[in-house]
Amino acid sequence: MRQLILDTETTGLNARSGDRVIEIGIVELVNRRLTGNNLHFYINPERDSEPGALAVHGLTTEFLRDKPKFAEIANELRDFVGGGDLIIHNAPFDLGFLDAEFSLLGLPTFVSHCGEVIDTLVQAKSMYPGKRNSLDALCDRLGVSNAHRTLHGALLDAELLAEVYLAMTRGQESLVIDMLGEAGTTGDNGELVVKTGFDQLVLAVVLASPEEETAHGTVLNELDKAVKGTCVWRAEEKVIEAQ
């Protein structure tokens, strides 16, 4: 499974009014592991950045003047993302700009070259409703260090987002794979094949203390009173005991 964490920096907020892409950073994950095969471009937008945008990314017109224009990097970008799934924070923003750049060159849309698009902002809003879900907020919440980040940069933000995405989606399956360590290989289709059996895992069994069992019984008694009978958990216990 090849996933590409992508971020851009732009001259402003609106591609329709002529704002352009000035930086692209892409970090590659294969089977949820960073490969180090990343892609990064600074791009000459042939215009100045808006003051608000410049304050965010710090990429001046002078710095970008000798960088390649988008037309010069479009083919390499298209080839790199070909068929991969994209992971982007607030995907409509970045994809809107990239589609606009491809349109200016008379090329098919950027997204037409990619697979699934995963928007981590949408995921975060579902997981943490009512909370701030910016990249910085997610780094703080999930324990991802961004202390070295003073200005926004596409590659740095993509690297941070990769760590955030892995932390957000770390479920039981990935936990077991981590416990098995490196005892696995890559199959013909690129999937991870684990050689070590589950019988080799040593899992801790934590039993309830007498105090916890008493507290549990008290809660069940209150539930029995509330339903004026036997609550579903006690009914399940009777079924188990009868087996």
199: in domain: no
Query: What was the pLDDT predicted at 146?
Result: 81
Average pLDDT, the chain: 85
Same domain assignment for residues 78 and 158: yes
183 or 52, greater pLDDT = 52
Q: Does one domain contain both 135 and 220?
A: no
Q: Which of 112, 139, 170 is the last residue of a domain?
A: 170
3-state secondary structure of 40: strand
As for how many domains the chain has, the answer is 2
Query: Mean per-residue pLDDT for 90-110?
Result: 96
* Residues 133 and 217 grouped into a single domain: no
In percent, the amount of the chain with pLDDT more than 90 equals: 63
pLDDT at 172: 43
Q: CA-CA distances (angstroms) from residue 132 to 40, 136, 137, 175, 234?
A: 28, 9, 6, 27, 41
Q: What confidence category does residue 236 fall into, taking pLDDT thresholds of 50, 70 and 90?
A: low
Local confidence band at 115 (pLDDT 50, 70, 90 cut-offs): very high
- State the pLDDT confidence band at 173, using cuts at 50, 70 and 90: very low
Condensed to tens digits (0 to 9), the pLDDT of residues 211-226 reads 888 888 888 888 888 7
Residues 54 and 158 in one domain: yes
Indicate the pLDDT class of residue 182, thresholds 50, 70 and 90: very low
Instruction: Please check whether residues 17 and 66 belong to one and the same domain.
Output: yes
Say how far apart CA 114 and CA 102 lie, in whole Å.
14
Question: Is 203 within a domain?
Answer: no
Same domain, 44 and 98: yes
Q: How far apart are CA 160 and CA 198, in angstroms?
A: 32
Give the pLDDT confidence of 185-214 residue by residue, as tens digits: 555 555 555 454 445 555 567 788 888 888
In a domain, 49, yes or no: yes
Q: Which residue, 117, 150, 170, sits at the end of a domain? A: 170
pLDDT of 176: 45
Residue 224: which of 211, 209, 237, 235 has the closest Cα?
Answer: 235
Question: Does 157 lie in the same domain as 229?
Answer: no
Reported as a single tens digit per residue, the pLDDT across 58-83 is 999 999 999 999 999 999 999 999 98
Is residue 75 assigned to a domain? yes
Q: Do 67 and 155 lie in a common domain?
A: yes
Q: Is residue 103 part of a domain?
A: yes
**CA dist., res. 20 & res. 81, Å (int):** 20
- Residues 140, 231 share a domain: no
Same domain as 156, residue 221: no
For the annotated catalytic residues, the residue numbers are 152
Whole-prediction pTM value?
0.69
**Would residue 193 count as lying in a domain?**
no
Q: Express each pLDDT in 38-55 by its tens digit.
A: 999 999 999 999 999 999
Q: How far is CA 194 from CA 32, 57, 200, in A?
A: 14, 42, 12
What local confidence, expressed as pLDDT, does residue 175 receive? 46
Higher pLDDT, 95 or 234: 95
Query: Are 52 and 108 found together in one domain?
Result: yes
On the question of pLDDT at 177 being above 50, the answer is no
At position 44, the amino acid (one-letter code) is N
The domain boundary, picked from 170, 200, 228, lies at 170
Shared domain check, 111 and 219: no
pLDDT for the residue 188? 54
Range of the domain at 87: 2-170
Residue, of 57 and 241, whose pLDDT is higher = 57
Considering the domain boundaries, does residue 141 fall inside one?
yes
**Which CATH number does the domain housing residue 116 bear?**
3.30.420.10
